[in-house]
Amino acid sequence: MGTCDTYLFLSVVHIFILCFMAKVEGLNKTISGFYVFGDSTVDPGNNNYIKTAFRSNFPPYGRDFSNQVPTGRFTNGKLATDYIASYSGLKKEILPPYLDPNVINNIEELMTGVSFASAGSGFDPLTPTITSVIPIEKQVEYFRKCKKRMEDAVGKQRTENHVKKAVFFVSAGTNDFVLNYFALPVRRKTYTLLAYHHFLIQHVEHFLQELLAEGAKKIAVSGLPPMGCLPIMITLNSPNALFQRHCIDKYSSVARDFNLLLQHELHQMQSKLNMSNSDAKIYYVDIYRPIADMIQAHKRFGFDEVDSGCCGSGYIEAAILCNKVSNVCLDRSKYVFWDSVHPTEKTYHNLFLASLHTIDFIMNN
Ligand SMILES: *[C@@H]1O[C@H](CO)[C@@H](O)[C@H](O)[C@H]1NC(C)=O
């Protein structure tokens, strides 16, 4: 190699190194992993691996995935967390369920992110007992196991750095009201609505403390949706549900009250963290407004059906009641809800778009 060639060669190497460093610096600003906890709104199929009736790993669920694969997601395609995972660059397409045997022992998948969420779960420990699903407490336990696997693979120090730069996200609470407090007498006998709010908030706080204790520095907490607009709530609580279907504000206002209390609690926790010189950040993610907008201003989003789901009659079907013999609406993009409880993929995508500024903020701070 002549001097000139050597020089050229070194320059190329130099450029490579500069590019690599720029990339690493860029990565510093983004996130290292994405860990999700909660209920069916963020469960990609963990319930396929446990004994529960709260499942959706059969048609027509997953109808709009390529090959129409029912993955265990309670919708026709992707969840908002799938869009976030691919937007962040951590995943190509989807955020996988932790309990999938192809995931639980795959260090690459565990590092970039998984969901521990379980459909039917909630902050109240009684809720997952009613539904025989994975309690949030157990989901955190799974994260500890996941962290242990990472430590075994890349060492304690690297795992600690990794966890610091990861985003933790929780979406739960609707089942605590819809399947538990409103549906069964147990909690109502002991707690007024206000007392139950505080009871749930205590559990949220405990959960967040556990994540902080594991080294989490970026935690996002979703609020509740307008619960009175869920098709099943309209069906069960309207005097004439076949002909007069409107959101029932009594239940949506419970969600609004809870969301206010939740924001207050998160703010207080943030203040305490600041005072103890912690650099941990807790974010609130509003899903109430975007969903209420999609329902109220439905034409703007191209939706025609806002008060019944796409599967079956749309009034009562969810989980096993929405199955391979159910009629499915032709144009899913015209529906806010896929079944009587869960949003369509399009609604999840709109939710992702509506939260994009918050997501960018979390990733860059
Ligand atoms: C916590 O500290 C951050 C700066 O690190 C600041 O932006 C935020 O407003 C503080 N929050 C509270 C609730 O004190």
C-alpha closest to that of 221 among 267, 175, 159, 273:
267
- Give me the residue spans of the domains in the chain: 34-229+246-288
217, 270, 362: residue to mutate for ligand 1 pocket, most atoms within 8 A of CB: 270
- Nearest-angstrom CA–CA distance, 361 and 168: 14
Task: Point out the residues that are catalytic.
Answer: 40, 339, 342
What is the atom index within ligand 1 of the atom nearest the CA of 274? 1
Q: Give me the pLDDT at residue 242, please.
A: 87
Given this structure, which CATH class describes domain 34-229+246-288?
alpha beta
Quote the ligand 1 centre to 361 CA distance (angstroms): 14
Q: Give me the pLDDT at residue 28, please.
A: 41
Q: For ligand 1, atom 3, which residue shows the shortest CA distance?
A: 274
Q: Does 244 sit in the ligand 1 pocket, CB within 6 Å?
A: no
Query: Please, is 329 exposed, middle or buried when counting C-beta atoms within 10 Å of its C-beta (0-12, 13-18, 19+)?
Result: buried
∠ CA 289-293-297, nearest 5°, is 165
Cα distances (angstroms) measured from residue 94 to each of 71, 83, 127, 137, 166 = 11, 7, 27, 24, 17
**Over the stretch 275-327, which tens digit does the pLDDT of each residue have?**
999 999 999 999 999 999 999 999 999 999 999 999 999 999 999 999 999 99
Q: Does 264 sit in the ligand 1 pocket, CB within 6 Å?
A: no
Q: Give me the pLDDT at residue 256, please.
A: 98
Q: For ligand 1, atom 12, which residue shows the shortest CA distance?
A: 271
Q: Does 209 sit in the ligand 1 pocket, CB within 6 Å?
A: no
- Nearest-angstrom CA–CA distance, 41 and 193: 23
Q: Give me the pLDDT at residue 151, please.
A: 98
**Over the stretch 38-55, which tens digit does the pLDDT of each residue have?**
999 999 999 999 999 999
Q: Give me the pLDDT at residue 113, please.
A: 98
Q: Does 270 sit in the ligand 1 pocket, CB within 6 Å?
A: yes
Q: Give me the pLDDT at residue 24, please.
A: 43
Residue 280's contacts (CB-CB under 8 Å, 6 or more residues apart) are 212, 216, 217, 218, 219, 273
Quote the ligand 1 centre to 281 CA distance (angstroms): 8
Cα distances (angstroms) measured from residue 27 to each of 166, 249, 353 = 12, 44, 22
C-alpha closest to that of 211 among 129, 124, 269, 127:
269
Q: Give me the pLDDT at residue 29, please.
A: 52
pLDDT in tens, the chain (365 residues): 444 444 445 455 445 444 444 444 444 458 999 999 999 999 999 999 999 999 999 999 999 999 999 999 999 999 999 999 999 999 999 999 999 999 999 999 999 999 999 999 999 999 999 999 999 999 999 999 999 999 999 999 999 999 999 999 999 999 999 999 999 999 999 999 999 999 999 999 999 999 999 999 999 999 999 999 999 999 999 999 888 999 999 999 999 999 999 999 999 999 999 999 999 999 999 999 999 999 999 999 999 999 999 999 999 999 999 999 999 999 999 999 999 999 999 999 999 999 999 999 999 99
Q: Does 274 sit in the ligand 1 pocket, CB within 6 Å?
A: yes
- Nearest-angstrom CA–CA distance, 213 and 141: 12
